[in-house]
Structure 1
Amino acid sequence: MTTTTQLLRQRRFLPLFVTQLLGAFNDNLFKNAMVLFAVYSLYNSESQEAAFSGIASALFVIPFVTLSALSGQLADSRDKAAIIRIVKACEIGIMVVGGIGLALAWKNLAVETVAIPLMLLALFAMGVHSTFFGPIKYAILPQHLLPGEVLAGTGLVEAGTYIAILAGTILAGWIPVEWAAVGVVLTAVIGWFAGRQVPPAPPMAEPQPIDYNILRSSITLIRNTTDDRRVALAIGAISFFWAVGTILFIQFPPLAKNVLHASKEVASLFLVIFSIGIAIGSMSINALLKGQVSARFAPPSVMVMGLFVVAFWFVCSSWTPHAGEGLMQLGAFVRHPMAVWLLLALLGIAIAGGMFVVPLYAFLTTFVPPSQTARTIAANNIVNSGAMVVGALVSLALSHAGIPLADQLLVSAGMSVISALLGLRLYSAERAAAASAA
């Protein structure tokens, strides 16, 4: 905790922390305001609502698949702080477009023909923005922090991300859409100012020529990065985790409306609880590992996450609808006799998930040369994003096949087993490497 407190007072960490926090907040304020509007005000079909939520998630992650190799090359061959300033300036323009889309939706003007296309365009552009910012927020940590501070810094970044998701999600569920339209633009401006305070982070090696062929550079990046078996296993484990997370996030709004017969504030509460849990797990694992970067808690953490998913499914399947008219509001929901068990299961999913993923991100930034950290994170983002797209497609396919939303949760539980196996193999490889070094 002392290291954490010290980092939050340092210019070598605080501006980056604030910048990424505001970016995550803006992503989620905008995305959730858009999705909740579509689910609760535009569509009236479970399959349409799940499809829109899935399309939105896929649009956001597609840039990670296609552009991460380019972003990793740029981050390792250019000053990372300079890239942050450019990326955050672009965010202002993107959010102006998104804000116009939200405002048109509020006014009910050309919703299908103009408002939704503008919002989806802005969401895709924010995916591009995050693609170029993502490798930097982790790769810059070993450059600005001491070796014993990297795990704490990674935990803070991860916890801060989910605190920001929490704040953005709460606001999206509670404020009018016109306020969200203004809020996303103002947040982008503040984020640009914060990004300008990040200290210089020049390349750690002689800059290499950049390959602008996104297909070839992506394949080359993944091949080169995964030569180290431990890195390959870490990326695989993280990817399955995000596939599970994508399926859950897509399901939350339509599940709240159609299975629990609850309002959008309840759907927002689910995302809030999930974000709180990830933040708790992110900070708890640092305390358990005492600053050491290790995957030893990864397998049990993700297995516990899978068990909580099964518990969440059981509560949803046993849910008894309320007796009143219309959708159940938040006050009625929290008084429901099964609500406590539902929220505890969701909190357990998120805490275990945070404990699983944070050491793996720290592993990726500390077990490769400093000159290659951004490309390693970029390769991880490509594979993660591909897994997230697959997760979104799986969710869409399950909905199209008519499988009930509650039963779709069991797919997430099954995928947790694969993550646990990859985590176990990673820890075995970690121990073998330590033994050979000794």
Structure 2
Amino acid sequence: MLHLFATRRFGPLFVTQFLGAFNDNLYKTAMLFLITYHLLAARPEDAAVMVSLAGGVFILPFVLFSSLAGELADSVDKARVVRLVKLAEIGIMGVGAFALTHDSIALLMLVLFGMGVHSTFFGPIKYAILPQHLGSNELLTGTGLVEGGTYIAILTGQIAGGMLGAHAAWAVVAVAFVGWLTGRQVPTAPPTKAIRVNPNVVASSFRMISHLFEDRRLKLTTLAVSWFWAMGAVLTTQFVPLVKDRLHADEGVATLFLTMFSVGVALGSMTVSKLLKGKVSARYTPAAAVAVSTFTAYVVAAVHFYDTVPGVADVGTFMAHSGSWHVLIALFGMAFSAGIFVVPLYAILQTECDPGERARTIAANNIVNSAFMVAGSVIAAAMIASGLKVLDVILAVGVANLLVLPAALKLRVDRLIPLS
């Protein structure tokens, strides 16, 4: 597994995507903490709505531009796209540095949208390029490392964002610059056939999704992956207001929650590739889905029975509370199960599509993922605005997660795909 990091065909891409995910979350977390604990600290309901909407703002570009991103990645050298996208990130983060130091919610949101555009065009690359650079017996491992690495990047970005707050301003520019340097080392990955890029993103989006959904297995896989991302988008944006307003704890505890979630998904992502031993299979997907719902209910129960202490709890005070371990164990279990759930699904998408259409398949998947995530963010914001509590939203996610079980069971009984 570790030998892949030393190769040029995997190492530079891994580092580049890691830094991109890190920077997204460094900026996003610094922004959410700034809004929740400072700009809207006196209006917690407005802050909860705003952080819910922030998830939708970041994801909206995936809905709008994923078709264009997929066609571009399939029509030109993918390494060239990497370099252009990472160069654009430097400019976007330059504006982001200004926004973090001038307390403008509108500008903060605009930069978040810009980072969403950046990630939209990079998204099809990181999965579509792997089958071109890795052997068939390396693909599941490489996918697991990318997925696990993404969540480690999310984790470290969230920790850094929570610790630095507005002081993250120029760090985001520096990280973008390093990402551009590593992106220049990604080896060439030319298209397998010439295609025409359609500037009509609406028509091409519908065509890509329709083509993807013609394959029953790819359709079920895409819907399951889309639910995973919608669930993650809703949960991670609710952790900060949950910690501040329900547990009466500070930014350090909010960062701890995000840490446990990210570590759990990363470890689950890397564990499942070991469990499957070189086969692309949804064998563990149904059990993982049930486990996610079970641990989500455990999170809600653990928080419900947590008795807050007077004042604002820091990490030490929170950890000294007897109920804190139930909350953290439940949170980790939910995330670990989610990691086991999603990695085999990405491997199915990579292996079962036409190699010449791989980036467009990933892009179509991203469009559906993004629509689910935007819908989830809007629904969560509406639930909070209607008077429901954050715990109600989290419980609703856990119950709704069981709706993905029929798709998971159908994928479970489908054939195993040997990779070696």
TM-score, with normalisation over the residues of structure 2?
A: 0.97
Q: Match for residue 51 of structure 1?
A: 49
Is 2:185 aligned against 1:204? no
Q: Match for residue 82 of structure 2?
A: 84
Q: Please tell me the residue identity of whatever aligns with 2:50.
A: F
Q: Match for residue 134 of structure 2?
A: 145
Report the Cα offset of residue 103 of structure 1. 1.8
1:56 & 1:393 partners in 2: Cα distance? 10
1:305 & 1:55 partners in 2: Cα distance? 24
2:161 & 2:195 partners in 1: Cα distance? 42
Is 2:338 aligned against 1:349? no
2:385 & 2:108 partners in 1: Cα distance? 24
Q: Which sits farther off after the overlay, 36-45 or 88-97?
A: 36-45
Determine what percentage of the aligned residue pairs are the same residue: 46
Q: Match for residue 368 of structure 2?
A: 383
1:172 & 1:225 partners in 2: Cα distance? 37
2:406 & 2:34 partners in 1: Cα distance? 39
RMSD: 1.2
Alignment of 1:11-410 (within 5 A): 11-43=8-40, 44-104=42-102, 111=103, 115-178=104-167, 180-205=168-193, 207-323=194-310, 325=311, 327-410=312-395
2:307 & 2:316 partners in 1: Cα distance? 16
1:70 touches 1:210 (CA, 8 Å); kept in 2?
yes
SS at match of 1:382: helix
SS at match of 1:148: coil
What number of residue pairs does the alignment pair up?
Answer: 417
1:354 & 1:312 partners in 2: Cα distance? 17
SS at match of 1:348: helix
SS at match of 1:175: helix
2:152 touches 2:262 (CA, 8 Å); kept in 1?
yes
1:260 & 1:228 partners in 2: Cα distance? 46
Q: Which sits farther off after the overlay, 39-48 or 26-35?
A: 39-48
1:301-353 CA distances to partner (integer Å, 9 max, x unpaired)?
A: 11101100000000111121103x2x211111111111111000000011000
1:159 & 1:240 partners in 2: Cα distance? 18
Q: Please tell me the residue identity of whatever aligns with 2:219.
A: A
1:369 & 1:208 partners in 2: Cα distance? 14
1:243 touches 1:391 (CA, 8 Å); kept in 2?
yes
Report the Cα offset of residue 176 of structure 1. 4.5
SS at match of 2:138: helix
Q: Match for residue 10 of structure 1?
A: 7
SS at match of 1:403: coil
SS at match of 1:211: coil
1:247 & 1:420 partners in 2: Cα distance? 19
1:359 & 1:412 partners in 2: Cα distance? 22
Q: Please tell me the residue identity of whatever aligns with 1:138.
A: Y
SS at match of 1:200: coil
2:31 touches 2:165 (CA, 8 Å); kept in 1?
no
2:93 touches 2:172 (CA, 8 Å); kept in 1?
yes
1:121 & 1:428 partners in 2: Cα distance? 45
Report the Cα offset of residue 419 of structure 1. 2.0
1:129-180 CA distances to partner (integer Å, 9 max, x unpaired)?
A: 00000000000000000011110000000011111111111111112522x0
Q: Which sits farther off after the overlay, 305-314 or 368-377?
A: 368-377
Q: Match for residue 108 of structure 1?
A: none
1:240 touches 1:418 (CA, 8 Å); kept in 2?
no
Q: Please tell me the residue identity of whatever aligns with 2:27.
A: F
Q: Unpaired segments of 5 or more residues in structure 1? A: 105-110
Report the Cα offset of residue 9 of structure 1. 1.1
TM-score, with normalisation over the residues of structure 1?
A: 0.93
